[in-house]
Structure 1
Amino acid sequence: MELFPPIPLAEWQETKETLHRFAQVVGKIRLAASARRNHWWNVPFHLTGRGVTTRPMRDVDGHSVFTIDFDFVDHQLVLATLDGRAKSVPLLGQSVASFHNSTLEALAALGVRVSINIPRPFDLPDADRPFAEDTEHAAYDPVLANRYWQVLSQVALVLEEFSAGFSGKVSPVHHFWHTFDIAHSRFSGRHMDQPPQIDPVSREAYSRELISFGFWFGDDAFAAPAFYSYTAPEPAELTGEPLTPATAHWVARNAGHLAVLPYDSARAESDPRAVVLAFYESAYQAGARRAGWDIAGFAAPGGITDPQLPVPRL
């Protein structure tokens, strides 16, 4: 299988917009049925061998343990309980409204009691429209949906490899359904002071100083898939730091800047994996130097923190 297969935004934008809202339906169930974790780490999806998963959850009564998995091989949403019962909902041929209703009906048939607190999209253009009324978004190309999962899986492995080089507090490598990206973050341990007008979601996400690394599929503001990194809070003169490779660059985004490596630029390299790892490392060094992190103290070469152990040869 090709490493980093092509996935131009224009080719799958309609499928992406539908799938993004499918993911938000399931993600909001995950939000309602999981224990709160720091920085919202309870909320994102994780990768599986066939798609993405919520991981196990518990319903409002605390009796039913269940999971919801997107299967992008057979193109089904699989809802299963700990006692082995399961229901499935087809992904093909569904509008957001029919998917939302079918998913809740499948949970009810399994005896799972859970409800979505705010049954509307989060931070999308149609955020005021309930899922149950969205018949507009109904495009689902199974080939492109499978490609999305392939790309996520390959990027996840690169991020897992990169994450091993840091011994401090780190996030899992996880897929955020609200922004539809996959990301991993490193933390310095320092508390972040935030103005009182910051929304509650962002306050928790950025309560500690961090440098984040990830990949997203493109959006209206940046209409191409790309690898990215940012430092929060952004230190002074960050954009004066060099990035690797030469095709990587700093991009103004909201009130700060992103280090960006276009996906197609990485694909064009002879060793895309090594190029992406080098990009993430250059972005980390840039943010950590400017923010005054203990770079040597946080280092874990080869995933090893004990200086007496040799770095493994793989």
Structure 2
Amino acid sequence: MGESAGTSTLGPATGEALPALPLDAWRPTKETLHRFVQIVGKVALAKGIRRNHWWHMTYRVTARGWSTVPLGTATDGPVFTCDFDFFDHVLRISSDRGTQEEIPLGGQSVASFYGEVMRALDNLGIEVTIAHPTPYDLPDHGRPFAEDEEHHHYDPVAAQRAFHVTSQVARILEEFSATYSGKISPVQLFWHTFDLAVQRFSDRKIELPASVDPVTREAYSREEISAGFWFGDSKVPEPTFYSYTAPEPEGLTELPLQPPEARWVPSGSAHAAYYAYDAARRSADPVGATLDFLHSAYAAGSRLAGWDAPALACPGGITDPVLESPWRGWPE
């Protein structure tokens, strides 16, 4: 079985716009939690109604944690959601039949958590077959979840701090999203890479080589500019805001980014814009500095990709230029 940390190196989240979350302070919990969300994410992949760019299998940030979208279909019930609650520290699986199961997040190894999830689904009358019950793109990708006793750390204070960070970042990404009227994804937590992101799309179809895997083909079937945040990993050992344009237009890295600490860095065969989370925290206006970064990266990518940025603009979430406020015309 797993264990919960008795003492955390992180205190409760403060009222800061962007609370501190150094990677090393919660790495064991992060590695365990990442596999927990992959298990439930694969349930969503199996039971969700497929949406373009895999939007059906991602998480949404709620007031208490991270939740799947409603899963199941009109002919394949029950409808259900899986919610990570970082106040009660449980995974709560609820169905539209009024039934629910709760699985504690503490005291679990990945193996025991996987077994409890499958048992809870069975108790709720939900039939799920996970095609590949192993981690995706992690160092132990060949080991079944059911055999992973290695990852068993869960520090409730650190996990709640990570949730608070995603809650705040999600609000910033929503504010950024409000300025775009074209095709745009939800603000969503991707379980495979464990990052929070939003993607803006153009209508340009992208022809990918036949060798590209099905996951990537669907994710990048249209030209996009992505913006997001990840907690950090072995390659980027600190929490970081990022943005990239796919496909990358020529000359992208020659355009300036804001704030001055932001930079272009190699990323695979292309580049991404990075702005360290802690650099934003140190600024006089962390939210404003982060939005400056996101807008500058979008301006660079959209300009070189030939998007009609003025036509796609949606200042303050308003598409009708006649409106003076979002509430004009609504009944009192």
Normalising TM by the smaller chain, what interval? over 0.9
One-letter amino acid of the counterpart of residue 102, structure 1: E
Q: Report what 1:6 is aligned to.
A: 20
Task: Give structure 1 regions of 4+ aligned residues with deviation exceeding 6 angstroms.
Answer: none
The answer as to 2:52 corresponding to 1:38 is yes
Unaligned segments of structure 1, at least 5 residues: none
Picking from 202, 206, 228, the partner of 1:188 is 202
Q: Is the 8 A contact 1:59 1:113 kept in 2?
A: no
Picking from 282, 287, 306, the partner of 2:301 is 287
Picking from 243, 263, 267, the partner of 1:229 is 243
Deviation per residue, 1:9-49 (Å, 9 max, x gap):
11111110000000000000000001111001111000111
Unaligned segments of structure 2, at least 5 residues: 1-14, 328-332
- Name the CA distance, whole Å, in 1 between partners of 2:277 and 2:92: 31
Deviation per residue, 1:146-186 (Å, 9 max, x gap):
01100001000000010011111000000000000000011
- Name the CA distance, whole Å, in 1 between partners of 2:68 and 2:240: 25
- Name the CA distance, whole Å, in 2 between partners of 1:290 and 1:72: 42
Q: Report what 1:101 is aligned to.
A: 115
- Name the CA distance, whole Å, in 1 between partners of 2:133 and 2:55: 21
SS in 1 for 2:162: helix
One-letter amino acid of the counterpart of residue 260, structure 2: A
Q: Report what 1:23 is aligned to.
A: 37
The answer as to 2:259 corresponding to 1:245 is yes
SS in 1 for 2:215: helix
Give the deviation of 1:312 after TM superposition. 5.9
Give the deviation of 1:310 after TM superposition. 2.7
Q: Is the 8 A contact 2:56 2:69 kept in 1?
A: no
- Name the CA distance, whole Å, in 2 between partners of 1:6 and 1:214: 17
Aligned counterparts, 1:46-195, within 5 A = 46-58=60-72, 62-195=76-209
Summarize the Cα distance change of 1:100–1:191 in structure 2 as closer, same or farther, 3 Å threshold: same
Summarize the Cα distance change of 1:295–1:99 in structure 2 as closer, same or farther, 3 Å threshold: same
- Name the CA distance, whole Å, in 2 between partners of 1:112 and 1:61: 13
Give the deviation of 1:189 after TM superposition. 1.1
Give the deviation of 1:187 after TM superposition. 0.7
- Name the CA distance, whole Å, in 2 between partners of 1:298 and 1:111: 45
- Name the CA distance, whole Å, in 1 between partners of 2:162 and 2:45: 23
Picking from 220, 224, 228, the partner of 2:234 is 220
SS in 2 for 1:58: coil
Give the deviation of 1:115 after TM superposition. 1.8
- Name the CA distance, whole Å, in 2 between partners of 1:189 and 1:311: 29
- Name the CA distance, whole Å, in 2 between partners of 1:161 and 1:180: 21
- Name the CA distance, whole Å, in 2 between partners of 1:29 and 1:277: 34
**Greater CA deviation, 298-307 or 204-213?**
298-307
One-letter amino acid of the counterpart of residue 29, structure 1: V
Q: Report what 2:12 is aligned to.
A: none
Q: Is the 8 A contact 2:58 2:69 kept in 1?
A: no
The answer as to 2:277 corresponding to 1:263 is yes
Q: Is the 8 A contact 2:109 2:152 kept in 1?
A: yes
One-letter amino acid of the counterpart of residue 59, structure 2: F
Q: Is the 8 A contact 1:51 1:70 kept in 2?
A: yes
Superposition RMSD on alpha carbons, in Å?
1.3
**Greater CA deviation, 295-304 or 206-215?**
295-304
- The number of aligned residues is 313
Q: Is the 8 A contact 1:61 1:113 kept in 2?
A: no
One-letter amino acid of the counterpart of residue 298, structure 2: Y
Give the deviation of 1:188 after TM superposition. 1.3
Q: Is the 8 A contact 2:67 2:84 kept in 1?
A: yes
One-letter amino acid of the counterpart of residue 95, structure 2: T
